Amino acid sequence: MKKVCIVGASGKLGIYMVQHALDRGYAVVGVCRERSVEKLDAFKGRIAVIPGATNDREVIKRAIARCDGVLVVLAPMGVHHYASGTAQAVLDYADPGARIVFSSGWHITRDGQDVYSWKIKVLVKIVGRLARLARMVDLDDQVEACRRVFASDTRWTLVRGSDLEEGESQGLPVWSRHVGDPILKSNITRRVDFALFMVAALANDALVHEAPAIVGCKTPSALAHADLAIG
Ligand SMILES: NC(=O)c1ccc[n+]([C@@H]2O[C@H](COP(=O)([O-])OP(=O)(O)OC[C@H]3O[C@@H](n4cnc5c(N)ncnc54)[C@H](OP(=O)(O)O)[C@@H]3O)[C@@H](O)[C@H]2O)c1
C-alpha cells in the first residue's frame, strides 16, 4: 500500500484515519467539502486535499486515481442520495485491484442474520424517520449505498461501527460477522480505534468481501469472549 485516498477526511473519523495512514507511511489524498478544508490544517504540507462534495463523480474520479487504497466515510447527510452517490462514484472509478474500505453503523445488514437490541431498532426507526423529515439525514440512502457495495465485485470491505466514544486508543477492535454475536454485546468502540480498524483493513486481505461488525478490544464482551474473535 503506497497511496490512499480518504473520502470524507475532515470528519471525526476521517481525521483519525488521516493520522493512522500517515503513521503507516502512506501518501494521503483527502476529499472534503470546501467549507471543511480548514479542519485539515494540522496536516498542511503532509497530505493533498481535493475540495468538493464526496458524491461529485468528477471530484472522486480525480482524487482516487492511482490510489491503491480508498477509505470512505459513508455519510448519510441530506436527502439527495449523498451516501449512495459517494459509494457509486468510488466503486466506478477506483483503480482495478484497489482495496476499498467503507464505514457504516451496525444498523446495516448484509444477509439479514443480524439480531438487534430494541435500543438500536428504536433509534434507527424513530430517530431515522425524524431526521429524514427534517431533511438532515437519510439512513435509507446509506442502506442503498451499502447494497451497492455488497453487489460490487471490487475488493471492498464494509466496516460496521458500534456506538462510538472518544478517548485514547485501546488497540485494534475485534469483530464478528453478525450483530447479536456475544462478543459484540458491549456495543462501544473508541472512534480512534474504528479508524485504526479501517486503515488496517487496507492491508488485510482476509477482510475482502466481509462486513465486520466491530467492538472495542478492551470492552467486557470482547474480553469475555476473546476465544470467539475472528482473525
Ligand atoms: N457517530 C456514531 O456514533 C457512529 C456509530 C457507528 C458508525 N458510524 C459511522 O461513522 C462514520 C462517520 O462518523 P463520525 O462520527 O466521524 O461523523 P462526523 O464527524 O459527523 O463525520 C461525518 C461526515 O459527514 C460529513 N458531513 C456532515 N454534514 C454534512 C452535510 N450536510 N453534507 C455533506 N456531508 C456532511 C462530514 O464532512 P464535513 O467535515 O465536511 O462536515 C464528515 O465527512 C459514518 O460512516 C457513520 O455511519 C458513526
Neighbours of 42 (CB within 10 A): 11
CA of 224 to the centre of ligand 1 (A): 31
Cβ neighbors of 47 (< 8 A, separation 6 or more) are 9, 18, 22, 28, 29, 30, 40
Residue 77's pLDDT is 77
**Ligand 1 atom closest to residue 136's alpha carbon, by position in its atom list:** 31
- Nearest of 99, 36, 89, 35 to residue 63 by alpha carbon: 89
- Nearest of 126, 125, 117, 129 to residue 163 by alpha carbon: 117
Largest CA distance in the chain: 47
* Per-residue cell: 118: 430494541
Question: Is residue 145 over pLDDT 80?
Answer: yes
Shortest-distance Cα residue to atom 21 of ligand 1: 11
Q: Which residues line ligand 1 (CB under 6 A)?
A: 8, 10-14, 32-33, 36, 39, 73-75, 77-78, 82, 103-105, 161, 163-164
pLDDT digits over 65-88, tens only?
A: 999 999 999 987 766 789 999 999
| pLDDT band, residue 2 (cuts 50/70/90) | very high
Residue 134's pLDDT is 72
Segment among 10-24, 69-83, 143-157, 216-230 with least mean pLDDT: 69-83
- Residue range 90-111: average pLDDT? 96
Shortest-distance Cα residue to atom 30 of ligand 1: 77
Alpha-carbon torsion (175, 176, 181, 183), positive or negative: negative
Predicted TM-score (pTM) of the model is 0.96
Among 60-69, 114-123, 134-143, name the most confident range.
Answer: 60-69
- 3-228: CATH class: alpha beta
* Per-residue cell: 231: 482473525
Domain residue spans in the chain? 3-228
pLDDT digits over 199-213, tens only?
A: 999 999 999 999 999
Radius of gyration (C-alpha) of the chain in whole angstroms? 17
Higher-confidence position of 159 and 77: 159
Euclidean distance between CA atoms 157 and 185, whole angstroms: 22
Cβ neighbors of 221 (< 8 A, separation 6 or more) are 182, 183, 184, 185, 186, 215
Residue 194's pLDDT is 98
Residue 137's pLDDT is 76
